[in-house]
Amino acid sequence: MKLVVATRNKKKLLEIKEILKGMDLVLLSLDAYKNSPKVIENGKTFKENAVKKAVKLARFTGEFCLGEDSGLCVDALDGAPGIYSARFSGNGKNDIKNNLKLLKLLKGLPRSKRKAHYVCAAALADKGGLVGVVEGRCNGLIAFEPKGSAGFGYDPVFYIPKYKKTFAQLGEKIKHKMSHRYHALEKARRVIQKYIVKQAAG
């Protein structure tokens, strides 16, 4: 069965493929649909944005779709950047600029005040509407400087005390067993499995 993922981010798609491997699915990204509508992410929560993406894309493609929204929430910044994680540094935004802005805002704060967590919401929809929405979370700290080259987004500054490394240093293998996206997609896996069984039963 096809599952269309509402993203053009190749690294994100690879991560989702890796976590959902073993399922009877063909995963496609928005690149397979050149004229797909742009979704304005104006929801107030990760779940709202994920649902918007999934429902709009399912309506457009007629296929089973996964909408995902994720980001970083930092305690010392009252939960920012949150839903604005991808566009945190404004115009000309990119991962490096976002990370540098974050580190600048936390400059001088001790380790004990650098608590943060990643959140991922995943919504599933078909042309009939929303099928289910789930959320995953991963706790950590914000490092004092970027380290590592794996992953994307805030991974170089997201530090896991248990491993004494950032997500970007840990690499995909360990990250995919503990990340916010892993926790959300493991829940989504159950929703997808039920949907496949239901479709097969007609």
Chain centroid to Cα 66, Å, comes to 11
69 is catalytic: yes
How many residues does the structure list for the chain? 202
Catalytic hit among 69, 95, 126, 155: 69
What is the DSSP secondary structure assignment for residue 34, as one 8-state letter? T
Measured CA to CA, the distance from residue 120 to residue 4 in angstroms comes to 17
CB proximity list for 6: less than 8 A, separation 6 or greater:
30, 39, 53, 54, 56, 57, 65, 66, 67, 68
Alpha helices in 20-171 (DSSP H): 46-61, 95-105, 167-170
Q: Which residues are catalytic?
A: 69
